[in-house]
Amino acid sequence: MKRANFKNTGLLAATICFANLAAGSSAADSSMPVASAERMAARIVALSQFGANPEGGVSRVAFSAADIQGREYIKSLMRSVGLDVRVDTAGNIIGRREGSQPDLPAIMFGSHIDSVPNGGNFDGDVGVIGAIEVAQVLQDNGVRTRHPLEIVSFVDEEGGLTGSRAMTVGLTDSALEVMSHSGLSIRDGIRAVGGDPQRLGGAIRRPGDLLAFIELHIEQGALLYEQGINIGVVEGIVGIRWWDVVIEGFANHAGTTPMNRRRDALVSAAELTLVVNRIANSMDGRQVATVGRIHAEPGAANVIPGRVVMSLEIRDLAAGKMQRVFAAIEAEAREIAQNHETPIHFDEIEVASPPAPTAESMRRIIASVAEELDLTYVRMPSGAGHDAQDMTHLAPTGMIFVPSVAGISHSPEEYTAARDMANGADVLLRTVLALDDGALDLP
Ligand SMILES: [Zn+2]
């Protein structure tokens, strides 16, 4: 197919383009519209000046002056690719591209541009720049989709998925009172970026408003990078459970109490820590379990620890798997408690976050698009939280991962090669076109 044809035929072009893809043409085919790695890299560099830190990363925490400047840059980019830009009442930036059938539900895709303090230039940014790249390629090639497209830059992802939560379930009063890294409460921050905390209901989208949601993001682990795989088809965002584990021993003189008369809470804690690691390691799957904090009392060199409080965290994509991991740990804890006469209690402190699986239909579409582009891919979970996890409640949701060099993230060292970013944008583009073409209706 010649580019001239592609430009002239609008809707038909999108259909032909997808049919062509199905026939197995690759991104290397010069007649296919593709994302520009150079343009994406240049825009990442341009965005990186807002909140740039001496280490080469950014401190662009939500609601800060740097965030507000970065948001202006994103809005201007969105306008330059023909998007109709608005800020919803929660402060999310939404660029809309009307479809030839405006009453159809919109296809939404995007990510976030706020960072953690002393963060990097790719977490979130690749997804927003990639989404704008998709709009640019469609514009440059005169492609009109049937469905409206909405490119989103969520507000305050790093502070607790503020924007996507506001769009799906709404924000509670207590969430609005939380102090953000910018020094503003979430409520005042939303106001500072052009939202309206009095009218947050206006940001809520209803089931049926969106045909689908897709987020392109860096992997933030090293799985793709180390195996040289182009694309991660994300199976979902893992759930997280937290416990305080309390181990009761008996504090006594460390010099006069013989070894066989001790009830040492820290010895039990040490054994339990090894058990946690062994169990998570020995079961099939990608579950993780961690003891990240430990506190021994009274905490003196010459006193046998009488009490230990330590944390336990378990993450997995399946709630049932998390429960099985916990049950196995608990069973061994009972033995340890008996052996050392140190009762062990597990207090679950909160259901931190339930697992948020992506839609199988979306995984299938993303995987087949990657295949058609001759890109290698693997199905994988996301160990980190993303706006996509909230969006799973609203619409069929998919996530596309691209490699992170050495798996480094939330650091100025974070890096994703331009080619990898463009691969991700190409998969995103073709996923959007496939969805527009009715791929979700296929059996
Ligand atoms: Zn992110």
Q: What is the pLDDT of residues 297-334, one digit of tens each?
A: 999 999 999 999 999 999 999 999 999 999 999 999 99
Instruction: State the distance from the centre of ligand 1 to the C-alpha of 44, rounded, in angstroms.
Output: 14
Q: Is the pLDDT of residue 14 over 90?
A: no
Q: What is the pLDDT of residues 162-202, one digit of tens each?
A: 999 999 999 999 999 999 999 999 999 999 999 999 999 99
- C-alpha to C-alpha distance for 190 and 184, rounded to whole angstroms: 9
Q: Which residues of 309-329 are buried (b: 16+ CB within 10 A; e: fewer)?
A: bbebbbbbbbeebbebbbebb
Instruction: Report, as an integer, the average pLDDT of 232-246.
Output: 95
- Using alpha carbons, select from 388, 381, 379, 372 the residue that is nearest to residue 434: 372
Q: Is the pLDDT of residue 32 over 70?
A: no
pLDDT for 350: 73
Instruction: Report, as an integer, the average pLDDT of 256-268.
Output: 96
- DSSP 8-state code for residue 392: T
Q: Following DSSP, what letter does each residue of 48-90 receive, concatenated?
A: HTTTB-TTSSB---TTSHHHHHHHHHHHHHHHHTT-EEEE-TT
Instruction: State the distance from the centre of ligand 1 to the C-alpha of 124, rounded, in angstroms.
Output: 4
Q: What is the pLDDT of residues 118-144, one digit of tens each?
A: 999 999 999 999 999 999 999 999 999
pLDDT for 7: 31
* CATH code at 3-237+355-441: 3.40.630.10
Is 239-353 in the same CATH topology as 3-237+355-441? no
Q: What is the pLDDT of residues 138-167, one digit of tens each?
A: 999 999 999 999 999 999 999 989 999 999
Higher pLDDT, 243 or 410: 243
Instruction: State the distance from the centre of ligand 1 to the C-alpha of 90, rounded, in angstroms.
Output: 18
Instruction: State the distance from the centre of ligand 1 to the C-alpha of 207, rounded, in angstroms.
Output: 24
pLDDT for 349: 85
pLDDT for 5: 33
Instruction: State the distance from the centre of ligand 1 to the C-alpha of 161, rounded, in angstroms.
Output: 10
Instruction: State the distance from the centre of ligand 1 to the C-alpha of 387, rounded, in angstroms.
Output: 8
pLDDT confidence tier of residue 15, bands split at 50, 70 and 90: very low
Instruction: State the distance from the centre of ligand 1 to the C-alpha of 88, rounded, in angstroms.
Output: 20
What are the structural domain ranges in the chain?
3-237+355-441, 239-353
pLDDT for 342: 98
pLDDT confidence tier of residue 431, bands split at 50, 70 and 90: very high
Which two tokens mark 63?
A: 């609601």
Instruction: State the distance from the centre of ligand 1 to the C-alpha of 360, rounded, in angstroms.
Output: 22
Instruction: State the distance from the centre of ligand 1 to the C-alpha of 391, rounded, in angstroms.
Output: 14
Q: Is the pLDDT of residue 422 over 80?
A: yes
SS3 for 319-376, per residue? HHHHHHHHHHHHHHHHHHHHHHCCCEEEEEEEEEECCEECCHHHHHHHHHHHHHCCCC
For residues 216 and 131, the answer to whether their CB atoms sit within 8 Å is yes
Instruction: Report, as an integer, the average pLDDT of 250-273.
Output: 96
Higher pLDDT, 291 or 207: 291
pLDDT confidence tier of residue 49, bands split at 50, 70 and 90: very high
Instruction: State the distance from the centre of ligand 1 to the C-alpha of 303, rounded, in angstroms.
Output: 45
How many CB atoms are located within 10 Å of the residue 441 CB? 8
Q: Is the pLDDT of residue 275 over 80?
A: yes
Q: What is the pLDDT of residues 346-356, one digit of tens each?
A: 999 876 688 99
Instruction: State the distance from the centre of ligand 1 to the C-alpha of 6, rounded, in angstroms.
Output: 34
Instruction: State the distance from the centre of ligand 1 to the C-alpha of 216, rounded, in angstroms.
Output: 9
Instruction: State the distance from the centre of ligand 1 to the C-alpha of 118, rounded, in angstroms.
Output: 14
Instruction: State the distance from the centre of ligand 1 to the C-alpha of 60, rounded, in angstroms.
Output: 13
Q: Is the pLDDT of residue 54 over 50?
A: yes
Instruction: State the distance from the centre of ligand 1 to the C-alpha of 439, rounded, in angstroms.
Output: 27
For residues 346 and 247, the answer to whether their CB atoms sit within 8 Å is no
pLDDT for 3: 32
Instruction: State the distance from the centre of ligand 1 to the C-alpha of 150, rounded, in angstroms.
Output: 19
Instruction: State the distance from the centre of ligand 1 to the C-alpha of 54, rounded, in angstroms.
Output: 21
Instruction: State the distance from the centre of ligand 1 to the C-alpha of 3, rounded, in angstroms.
Output: 35
CATH topology of domain 239-353: Alpha-Beta Plaits (3.30.70)
Q: Following DSSP, what letter does each residue of 167-179 receive, concatenated?
A: HHT---HHHHHSB
Which two tokens mark 249?
A: 């021993």
Q: Is the pLDDT of residue 413 over 50?
A: yes
Instruction: State the distance from the centre of ligand 1 to the C-alpha of 177, rounded, in angstroms.
Output: 23
Instruction: State the distance from the centre of ligand 1 to the C-alpha of 178, rounded, in angstroms.
Output: 20
Stretch among 13-17, 110-114, 220-224 having the lowest mean pLDDT: 13-17
Instruction: State the distance from the centre of ligand 1 to the C-alpha of 254, rounded, in angstroms.
Output: 48
Instruction: State the distance from the centre of ligand 1 to the C-alpha of 279, rounded, in angstroms.
Output: 30
Residue 210, phi then psi, degrees to nearest 5? -120, 135
Instruction: State the distance from the centre of ligand 1 to the C-alpha of 318, rounded, in angstroms.
Output: 22
